[in-house]
Structure 1
Amino acid sequence: MSAGRPVEKLPLPAEVTILMAQHIGAPAEPLVKKGDPVKVGQLIAKSTGFVSANIHSPVSGVVNKIDNVPDTSGYRRKAILIKVEGDEWDESIDTTDELVKDISLSREDILKRIGDAGIVGMGGATFPAHVKLSPPPGKIAGVLIINGVECEPYLTADHRLMLERGSELVVGIRILMKVLDVKKAVIGIENNKKDAIEAMQKLVAVEQGITVQPLKVQYPQGGEKQLIDACIGRQVPSGKLPIEVGAVVHNVGTAVAVYEAVQKNKPLIERVVTVTGLSVGNPGNFMTRIGTPVSALIDAVGGLPDDTGKVIGGGPMMGKALSSLAVPVTKGTSGVLVLPDPEARREKSQSCIRCGKCVSACPMGLSPYLLMTLTEKDILDRAEEEKIMDCIECGSCSFTCPSHRPLLDYIRLGKGRVGQIMRSRTK
């Protein structure tokens, strides 16, 4: 539906809402106050730890207030609200379209610039990029894997980036290779994106050490561990990170953001967002400033269809239903999906019939039916033993369940509780 739609620039909204917690890790701390003038690209919130990320103003204007506002999950989070006035950029940012190929910065300077720019994983995980690029002592990366799979149905943001900004992507990959000191990079792309595969193969034909790996169309191949196995045949052990098998994975959008940060001194202030749905009048892909209300994206595609049942932040498998269209776009917002009412309705949950379909569907080899029960009964020590934290929240279990059990909902709840227990042990 939107794969053939080139990326359009979304007009600036009247006000943006910049959440302080739009990345994994500690929320950023505001550096501005009500009434302060800001420019595009100006640092407005500072990271508060190693696993955290800086936040920059995506617009120019005046800080309206700092308040707690609902995020995409409905929880109230601290945010900076900025009234938009014009579009004045920080003078240090190169706003030209000229491709800068030569990488002049040292590894240390590149890493610092990536951290300063507030770049996070843009495939949805939002893990701070500078942390991924800093392997722990004794761990050495041997291969960089670029995730161009975009296996979630309906979403096409990464697809369009590969088609429209492939040259910048390749430079971004070379920058990441320099930081990691690796000689090999693999771009994984599923076979349903043949135009992207062809375009990237042409671009990397003259590059040393960069290859394109066409992949079988198989959900959820965009998961890190699944992609590593598909691209290089290595399996990441339970509870371990990709670096354990010498791999580091970054999303296509992240690599382009790295190019902009290192070569153009541009922080992460905007991203491509797919807006689509079966009844949407004019689906498309939009370059959207962070903090833009979802309502502005809905307006850009012709408004909500009459048969709308739910609006999902993300895709149909891993996305979450939005409680309001006023929630802002964040660094991890890859798409907005408008579901018609018949598709949006959940069937009535029934008793588990022990069919085992959820077990067969789980890409991580877990027992979703059991993890749901353990969470319901608050048997969290057993849930931890059953490796609930290995769940990648792909939604395959809920999708295949003939009893329409809300398996993923409970597993997410259980992961949150078990995660709290695990963190308490390290304090």
Structure 2
Amino acid sequence: MSVMQIWDIPGGIHPPERKDLSNKTGIQRAPLPARLVLPLNQHIGAPAEPVVAVGEPVLKGQLIAKANGFISVPVHAPTSGTVSFIGPQPYPHVSGMLVPAIVIDTDGQDQWSELQPCSDYRALEPSALLELIRQAGISGLGGAGFPTAVKLTERPTQKIHTLIINGTECEPYITADDMLMREFAAELISGIEILVHLVNPEQVLIGIEDNKPEAIAAVKQAVAERPFQVCVFPTKYPSGGEKQLIQILTGVEVPSGGLPADIGMLCQNVGTAVAVHNAVILGKPLISRITTLTGEALARPMNVEVLLGTPVGELLNFAGLDERALNRLIMGGPMMGFTLPNIDVPVIKTTNCLLASSAAELPAPTPAMPCIRCGECAEVCPASLLPQQLHFFALGQDHEQLKAHNLFDCIECGACAYVCPSSIPLVQYYRAAKGEIRDLEQKQLKAEQSKQRFELRQERLRLAEEKKEAERKARLERAALAKAAQADNPALKSTEATAAPKASGLSDELKKLKIQASMAQVALKKAEKQLATHNTPELHAQVSELRSAAEEAQKTLDAALAAEPASASTAPTANDAELKKAKIDAAMLRAQLRKLEKIEAPTAEQATELQQLRSQLEAAEKLLASLQATPAPAPAKPAIAANDDELKKAKIDAAMLRAQLRKLEKIEAPTAEQATELQQLRSQLEAAEKLLASLQPPEKQAPAQTEAGVVDPLKKAKIELAMARAALKKAEKAETDTDQLSTLTAAVSTAEQALHAAEEASSKPAPQLQRSDKRPVDEATRALKTEVAFARADLRKLERDDNAEAIALEAARSRLSAAEQALSAHQATDPTL
């Protein structure tokens, strides 16, 4: 075996190792606890999902929680027993938080489930072998706990040419990997061979620091003639970091922000390799690990093979914990570990050490002082960063500068804080800044996704609008082509002229009458709905007019249907057909013009089309006005019936125009478009009323005018008095000021006088007034009636509520019954009622 060249890393420190406390005795087996607590998230990624229920018996090695996602691993039962609880349990974290976990009460039998070993793993496909490792629940046992199967998946852009096995274990006090290499060297080499079969690298490097001579000898003996190189290098902290070990063994640096796989390298811990051997060769899932129990507060420091989920307190008692000497309990080493808030937490897959230190062994840090810019932190940084600059940027929350100074290249080894003469906890600032940056990036990502969804929606709406506009233009072009073809084809004109008298007989007249009757009914129903909502004299008058018009239209239609055989040869005049066509063309042009005028920023094409529509609408309105001014020739037969039809139609048109006009006049602040439409409606109503007056017979001129709403002083005075009284009543309810009430009262008085004058001037007989003597209601009766009304309202409200309680309903019914009985009793005893 050739001697490998060894490189050095920048920075680094040499803290007291204190490994001799726990590496003098062999690995011992920890006692079986009565209760195991297995958190569902013992690794980086999504927590596992339970597949067992409370009360269900389980066997050793049985699956109890399946992987929940790609970056996730399952959890298995470390021993046989019964699932007693699934829910929040203490978790080994500095915050003392609770996480979902499965609790197993052990039965002491330690009975295995059926194992499925695979001695001939070379016959398996790589995907099947990866799935076997994944289902064994193996995650990295050296630090962060990244799922091993995910890490072993080759990147499609880079082949792994170097496999590095990390046996460095550079942090003080920890000897778990040292003892594992001494006692399980054969299993380690077997696990490495499985990894080699999966990855197929060009070389395999096993890195071990020179302070582990027994482990080095055992591994070299187990390697034997295999093409694996055992690389021994000087002890320095933190040479066990993944990127630092790659630089030491190969001289190649991992790019900033990159991964070892980016340069074709893969690192695995020695404990992970042994777990791979157990999973593939023996069929055993990851249910235990080697953990160092050390510190001066323990009587018997040692390394133990402990079941996952074992309470930390039981392990420390097994090692002879002196609670009086215990100052801090650290999970991990003194450099990168964290202080546990209590001893009730369980051992998990990443628990490589429990350090029970005394006050003299690890004294409390002195209070932090201001940075003196000595530069010692920069000299020991293994990632060649500027820790003092990162500290200042973290204090100022300058995230852009933190990223520019490669904050995320920091491995949080703690070397900078160890040498800081001001005792500044630098690593804590870096961790907090990393968390803030990740949170902000997550929020920015969500905001960007929301923005993209909004922009895509706007684009869809724009495309839909463009499609509608294109379809509209296509319809207009087809209509224009059809008109042009009709104008240029004399044969088509003669055919239409010949067919017109045949097709435009009484059937067209019936169709027109049906449409008029239907429109009158629609207008009547709409007015009746408004009257049901707002009961005003004005709406009463409007409904009466529309009802009369609807009845007249229906009578006219019935008469035309009855006379259809006799009048089959009667044809409408050409003037009516042209007038109808002119109205339809003007209405369509007006609708298209309004739609285009609503566009806030029209394009040049839309502006041109807008101008064309305005010109066309102006011409159409001129044509319509000329056709309306031209009197239609009276039909030959029957003259009286045709005159009646025109009269009914005029009444319907006037009533509908009046209803539309009143509806628009109610708008308090009309837009320019609404004001224009209001003016047009007034002009059309005036023309319709003139036409109606001209169609009235001479003996009915005055009544017709009155019915059309032209002159009827009495009716007008009644409406104005009703509106004045309604305004006064509304102001009184709103508690309006005295001046406005006086004005409204004077208006009511003036309207009453105008009504009296109109009644005197009218030829109608004066109404007979019938007065009834209303007895006043006494206060007791009023109070009892009010109580009955309130009780009934509360009961109905509760009955409508689906979530109302039965007790509340019963109480409401009792209240209503008592109120009604009290009212009845009072009315029976009062002789005036």
The answer on whether the counterparts of 2:122 and 2:197 sit within 8 Å (CA) in structure 1 is: no
For 2:327, what is the secondary structure of its paired residue? strand
Pair 100,7 (structure 1): closer, same or farther in 2 beyond 3 Å = farther
In the alignment, is the contact (CA less than 8 A) between 2:158 and 2:263 conserved in 1? no
1:204 correspondence with 2:223: yes
Aligned equivalent of 1:67: 87
Distance 1:5 1:413 in 2: 40
Residue 246 (structure 1) aligned to one of 264, 271, 277: 264
Matches within 5 A, 1:132-211: 132-207=151-226, 209-211=227-229
Based on CA coordinates, which of the two structures has the bigger radius of gyration?
2
Given the alignment, which residue of 333, 339, 346 partners 1:321? 339
Distance 1:101 1:156, change over 3 A: farther
The yes-or-no answer on 1:76 pairing with 2:114 is: no
Give the number of equivalent residue pairs. Answer: 422
Contact 2:63 2:77 survives alignment (8 Å): yes
Distance 1:426 1:172 in 2: 40
Q: Is 1:339 aligned to residue 362 of structure 2?
A: no
Q: 1:231 to 1:424 in 2, by over 3 A?
A: farther
Change (3 A) 1:224 1:323: same
**Alpha-carbon distance in structure 1 between the residues aligned to 2:120 and 2:419:** 47
Inter-partner Cα distance in structure 2 for 1:351 and 1:285: 41
* Alpha-carbon contact 1:359-1:367 (below 8 Å) kept: yes
Q: 1:375 aligns with which of 379, 391, 394?
A: 394
1:27-176 superposed matches below 5 A:
27-73=47-93, 74-86=96-108, 87-92=110-115, 103-176=122-195
Show CA shifts across 1:293-346 (max 9, x none). Answer: 111110111113522210000110000000011111010000000111131412
Aligned counterpart, 1:9 = 29
Work out the CA distance in 2 between the residues paired with 1:184 and 1:426.
40
Q: Deviations over 1:56-84 (max 9, x none)?
A: 11121111111212322122211111111
Is structure 2 residue 255 aligned with structure 1 residue 237? yes
1:277 corresponds, among 289, 295, 309, to: 295
CA contact (8 A) 2:121 2:129 kept: no
Is 1:21 aligned to 2:41, yes or no? yes
Letter in 1 for 2:394: T
- SS state of the match for residue 158, structure 1? helix
Distance in 1, Cα, partners of 2:444 & 2:231:
41
- Aligned equivalents of 2:312, 2:279: Cα separation in 1: 26
Unaligned runs of 5+ in 2: 1-20, 447-833
Say whether the 8 Å CA contact 1:236–1:242 is kept in structure 2.
yes
State the Cα distance separating 1:104 from its structure 2 match. Answer: 4.3
The C-alpha deviation readout for 1:85-111, integer Å capped at 9, x for no partner, is 1211111256xxxx9687543322211
Shift of 1:183: 3.5
**Residue identity in the other structure for 1:377:** G
2: CA distance, partners of 1:411 / 1:101: 47
Encode CA deviations 1:155-188: one digit per residue, 9 max, x unaligned: 1110011110000100100000111111321110
Deviation at 1:426, TM superposition (A): 5.5
> Is the 1:312–1:322 Cα contact (8 Å) retained in structure 2?
yes
SS at 1:308 equivalent: coil
Match of 1:358 in 2: 377
- Is the CA contact 1:275–1:283 (under 8 Å) kept in the aligned structure 2? yes
Query: Please, what TM-score do these two structures have when normalized by structure 1?
Result: 0.95
CA contact (8 A) 2:119 2:280 kept: no
Q: In the alignment, what sits opposite 2:233?
A: 215
Equivalent AA in structure 1 for residue 277 of structure 2: Y
Query: Equivalents in 1 of 2:443, 2:170: separation in Å?
Result: 35
My pick for the range that moved more, 385-394 or 127-136, is: 385-394
Q: Could you say which residue in structure 2 is the equivalent of 1:421?
A: 440
Higher helix fraction (1 or 2): 2
Could you tell me how far apart the structure 1 residues matched to 2:408 and 2:325 are? Answer: 37
Deviation string 1:235-274 (CA, Å, 9 cap, x unpaired) is: 1001000011211000000000000011111111100000
Instruction: Report the AA paired with residue 393 of structure 1.
Output: E
Q: Do the aligned partners of residues 339 and 101 (structure 1) sit closer, same or farther apart at CA in structure 2, a change above 3 Å counting?
A: farther
Residue in 1 aligned with 2:278?
260
CA deviation map 1:175-219 (0-9, x unaligned):
001111113211100000011111111211221x21100011010
Query: 2:293, 2:319 within 8 Å by CA — same for their partners in 1?
Result: yes
Partner Cα separation in structure 1 for residue 366 and residue 47 of structure 2? 37
TM-aligned CA deviation for residue 424 of structure 1: 4.9
Cα 1:101–1:31 shift into 2, 3 Å: closer
**Partner Cα separation in structure 2 for residue 394 and residue 362 of structure 1:** 9
- C-alpha displacement of 1:291: 0.6
Normalized against structure 2, the TM-score is what? 0.49
Counterpart CA distance in 1 for 2:60 and 2:445 is 39
The offset of 1:4, in angstroms, is 2.1
Which structure exhibits the higher relative contact order, with contacts defined as CA atoms closer than 8 Å and separated by 6 or more residues? 1
Cα 1:166–1:356 change in 2 (3 A) is: same
Distance in 2 between residues matched to 1:364 and 1:195, nearest whole Å: 30
The code of the aligned residue for 2:61 comes to: G
- Correspondence for 2:348 among 317, 321, 330: 330
Change (3 A) 1:148 1:136: same
1:135, distance to aligned residue in structure 2 (A): 2.4
Query: Which shifted more, 381-390 or 59-68?
Result: 381-390
CA contact (8 A) 2:289 2:308 kept: yes
Contact kept, 8 Å, 1:389 with 1:419, in 2: the verdict is no
Residue in 2 that maps onto 1:286: 304
Which whole-Å CA distance do the structure 1 matches of 2:241 and 2:65 have between them? 30
User: CA shift at 1:54, angstroms?
Assistant: 1.1
Q: Which amino acid aligns with 1:155?
A: I
Tell me the equivalent position of 2:314: 296
Question: Whole-Å Cα distance in 1 between the matches of residues 395 and 90 of structure 2?
Answer: 26
